[in-house]
Structure 1
Amino acid sequence: MLALANYSMKGPMQANIAVTLLSALSVWIAPIGILAGGIIALITLRVNAVEGAKSLIWAMLVQIALTVMLNGSYLPAVIAIMEYFLPVFVMAVVLRKTNSLAQSLHLGMLMIGVALVAFHLMVGDTSAWWLTMFNNQIKPVLDTAGVDFDASFVPQMSQMVTMLLAVFALILWFSILMLGRWWQSQLYYPGQFQQDFHQLALPKSTATIAVVIAITGLIVGQEVRLLYDISGVVIAALMFQGLSIAHFLVRSRDASTAWLVGLYVLLFLLPQMMLILATIGLLDSWMNFRDRGKTQ
């Protein structure tokens, strides 16, 4: 992957070729969009926002053209653009100007928050909307394929879909942005990415608002679905701060990286780990674990 990033930085033509090919491949293999988004972020961070915008436009044009040719609809392309390209570019512009991962993460939270408000205003009852979509679009396909599923679980799951998609979007966008930042560090500023990530900390004001939203959302989530959905986004953002603290402490105490491997395994296997890390990230806004780690 580093060789791919290095090739894309040899000039504008190479950058456009890399983004175009990756965007085209992502039409068939969606996760390749992560690499395309990472290249767009890298170009934006290393060169300038104008060149980043040019690579973004190439990725969008290729995505739309191929998707329309193959599926006869541009909707999947729009989803892919919003999933891998456009929000990452906007966050990369902010990161370039502020040199702060926390500010970029904060922007990601705001974008998703606005999208959630708009979705709730347009749809109304989001749970009913997802349930209707399942019954009209997915259930007939499952029935035709003879797939057995627990019908009683569907209504419960429909209440969580919006929140889960919002959490997924924030984690994906910020991860792609960090990939671009890591490439930039590896190619031009060795060790800088580690320093940036270790310093990741949301402002106290954001943390205060976050805890109010999270607690309120968890308490009245069933009645106020929007707050419940936003609380999930807040937890995901604070999780990154918790991960930053874990990486810093392992590094500062010269501990084995096995601790981090175990942490990511638990995070993958146990969803509760996200809440634990978010709690650590939240407490860090007042207790500053990293300063304490330096003095020990």
Structure 2
Amino acid sequence: MKGLASFVMSGRYRALLVAMASSGSLLFCWLGAAVTALVTLRRGPAQGAWILMWASLPALVVTRMSGDTTPLALLAGTFVLALVLRLSVSLALAVLASALVGVITGLLTLAFGGAMLEQLSAVFADFVRALQQANNADGVTLVAPGVTQLAGMIGAANAALSVLCLMLARYWQAALYNPGGFAGEFRELRYPVGVMASLVVGALALASMGLVYRSWSVNLLIPVSVIGFALLHAWAAVKGRGTFWLTAMYVAWLLFDAAKLMLVGLAVVDAWVDFRRRWLGADRDDRDDDTSGRDD
């Protein structure tokens, strides 16, 4: 992947070629978004916007032919996050902006993607009906997501993918120009109490409005979850845990809702207690104790 990043940054037309080729594919559109973000971070908003403009053309073709707006939405969302990072030089602020990206994506999907949402709703309804019939004996009641709920899900998915593409672009940038810089930057991600409280209270308020709006509340929890992952990486670095442990945590997060809630809970508590400071203090104390023992 570093070789690809080096190829992209060796010339503007090489970057354009990769971005346009991948943005016309539903499978590799994430690559075009990451390349656009990398150019924005390294060469500035003007060059990033130029890549975005041309890469949007094949994405628009995909939207026209299949009705799927994923490549176009991912390009735009990732560019916005990269622009925030470039202008603010704050990864935490860029990740926070993903909540707004998700909400805006959902609203635009509601406004302009009515036909696609209706088709998706019908597909889910048929699927849920089949499950309902299969589990009828158990008295299971299933509810298919409606148009508004699906729009929130699409927005949340685009926000999460935009964050991942931004992280990939930032990793590429560090690998090429500041080796090891991204790891430390990511581990230090943290929000103050006011920001964290606003995100959590907003998510709870949306969720309390009913099942329809719970998917919208996920948009506000995406930055919180990213902080949780940063906390896990910081703990692994302090305690010397290997990649196996981190991989296991990621798998658990994908498979179990309890792991997702635990990660959010850790991020919220961290806003008050600052786990990293405590871990680093305890680690220094341990090293001091070891040094004292050797002196004796």
Shorter-chain TM-score tier: 0.7 to 0.9
Aligned pairs for 1:120-135 within 5 A: 133-134=119-120
CA 1:138/1:254 → structure 2, altered by over 3 Å: closer, same or farther? closer
Of 103, 109, 112 in structure 1, the residue corresponding to residue 99 of structure 2 is 109
Q: Give, in whole Å, the separation in 2 of the partners of 1:138 and 1:286.
A: 41
Q: Give, in whole Å, the separation in 1 of the partners of 2:92 and 2:207.
A: 24
Secondary structure at 1:158's aligned position in 2? Answer: coil
Partner in structure 2 of residue 16 of structure 1: 16
CA 1:209/1:117 → structure 2, altered by over 3 Å: closer, same or farther? farther
Partner in structure 1 of residue 291 of structure 2: none
Secondary structure at 1:200's aligned position in 2? Answer: coil
Deviation string, structure 1 residues 51-106 (Cα, Å, up to 9, x no partner): 111111111113334665xx3x7x43x44201x20110111011011222211111
Q: Which amino acid in the other structure matches residue 167 of structure 2?
A: M
TM-score (norm 2): 0.81
Partner in structure 1 of residue 143 of structure 2: 156
Partner in structure 1 of residue 271 of structure 2: 285
What displacement does 1:208 show? Answer: 1.3
CA 1:151/1:80 → structure 2, altered by over 3 Å: closer, same or farther? farther
What displacement does 1:151 show? Answer: 4.4
Partner in structure 2 of residue 6 of structure 1: 6
Partner in structure 2 of residue 97 of structure 1: 87
Query: Between Structure 1 and Structure 2, whose CA radius of gyration is higher?
Result: 2
Alpha-carbon contact 1:106-1:202 (below 8 Å) kept = no
Alpha-carbon contact 1:7-1:14 (below 8 Å) kept = yes
The count of corresponding residues between Structure 1 and Structure 2 is 273
- Quick check: 178-187 or 93-102, which moved more? 93-102
Q: Give, in whole Å, the separation in 1 of the partners of 2:258 and 2:269.
A: 17
Q: Which amino acid in the other structure matches residue 80 of structure 1?
A: P
Q: Which amino acid in the other structure matches residue 37 of structure 2?
A: A
CA 1:139/1:282 → structure 2, altered by over 3 Å: closer, same or farther? closer
Residue 250 of structure 2 is aligned to residue 264 of structure 1: yes
CA 1:135/1:203 → structure 2, altered by over 3 Å: closer, same or farther? closer
Partner in structure 2 of residue 191 of structure 1: 180
What displacement does 1:272 show? Answer: 2.7
Alpha-carbon contact 1:170-1:237 (below 8 Å) kept = no
CA 1:205/1:122 → structure 2, altered by over 3 Å: closer, same or farther? farther
Q: Give, in whole Å, the separation in 1 of the partners of 2:221 and 2:249.
A: 17
Aligned pairs for 1:1-296 within 5 A: 1-24=1-24, 26=25, 30-65=26-61, 68=64, 71=65, 75-76=67-68, 78-82=69-73, 84-116=74-106, 133-134=119-120, 136=122, 149-151=130-132, 156-158=143-145, 161-222=150-211, 225-226=212-213, 228-296=214-282
Q: Give, in whole Å, the separation in 2 of the partners of 1:15 and 1:154.
A: 50
CA 1:154/1:163 → structure 2, altered by over 3 Å: closer, same or farther? farther
- Quick check: 265-274 or 177-186, which moved more? 265-274
Q: Give, in whole Å, the separation in 2 of the partners of 1:80 and 1:13.
A: 20
CA 1:164/1:289 → structure 2, altered by over 3 Å: closer, same or farther? same
Deviation string, structure 1 residues 37-60 (Cα, Å, up to 9, x no partner): 111010000111111111111111
Q: Give, in whole Å, the separation in 2 of the partners of 1:272 and 1:12.
A: 45
CA 1:61/1:217 → structure 2, altered by over 3 Å: closer, same or farther? closer
What displacement does 1:213 show? Answer: 2.0
Q: Give, in whole Å, the separation in 2 of the partners of 1:60 and 1:11.
A: 19
Structure 1 residue runs of 5 or longer lacking an equivalent are none
